[in-house]
Amino acid sequence: MKNIVIFGAPGAGKGTQSDFIVEHYGLTHVSTGDLLRKEIADQTELGKRIKSIMDAGQLVSDDIVIEMMDKAIANDTKGMLFDGFPRTVAQAEVLDKLLAKYGRELTCMVQLEVPKDELMRRLLERAKIQGRADDNEATINNRLQEYNSKTKPVADYYAAQGKQKLIDGLGTIEDIAARIRQAIG
Ligand code: AP5
Ligand code: MG
């Protein structure tokens, strides 16, 4: 059973490539961003608490996402693709413990590498089509800052475990999907 993390900056293509990976390996896709946006759309108590944080492009607290992930792993039988999680070293350490608790282990971490100007271009393009609340230039800059200060260290965490697979995230969506399949094997 495979359990994989897809990793990269905002706009790197995590969601886009997740579709191909879950299809190819028969995994359950879990995106913390999608789960959190659903809480906001449903106007739950949690949704009301996190809306202003997400609109500002900041990370929500580790406790909130860890609780969500514990439930998601407990309910899964196929193996999982984690998209947007872990985003801090503390989350990465907890993910290892959670997987162990359910008798699993992380297979690898797939890191999409895309330069900043292309990230900005993609997200501003998506803003015109989808209108996600955090896709505007000021908030994208905050998201990139959060990524650089809090999330990038997670890459070193997986490199130290020998689980990091670096993927060139520029090119056509199909070419990148093929690179990922080759890296995962
Ligand atoms: P999240 O939803 O995870 O957003 P993100 O990391 O900012 O990334 P995106 O979803 O914007 O980009 P993506 O990498 O999925 O790229 P996509 O495939 O869409 O998180 C949102 C917020 O939730 C966070 O800011 C935080 O507040 C909170 N949060 C979530 N997880 C958390 C956690 N673990 N801890 C704490 N807080 C958390 O592609 C982007 C665009 O580019 C699309 O339009 C796509 O069509 C296009 N595109 C994709 N590939 C290509 C290509 N090869 N060429 C051209 N265009 C492409
Ligand atoms: Mg996404």
Mean pLDDT of the chain: 97
State whether the beta carbon of 126 lies less than 6 angstroms from ligand 1.
yes
Which residue numbers in the chain have pLDDT < 50?
Answer: none
Q: Are 152 and 146 in contact (CB under 8 A)?
A: no
Contacts of 33 (CB under 8 A, 6+ apart): 15, 83, 84
pLDDT of 131 reads 86
- Walk me through the domains of the chain, giving residue ranges and CATH numbers: 3-184 (3.40.50.300)
In the set 14, 37, 165, 179, the catalytic residue is 14
pLDDT of 168 reads 98
Q: How many Å apart are CA 139 and CA 133, to the nearest integer?
A: 9
pLDDT of 36 reads 98
**Could you tell me the distance, in angstroms and rounded to a whole number, from the CA of residue 104 to the centre of ligand 2?**
24
Q: What ligand 1 atom has the least distance to the C-alpha of 53?
A: 27
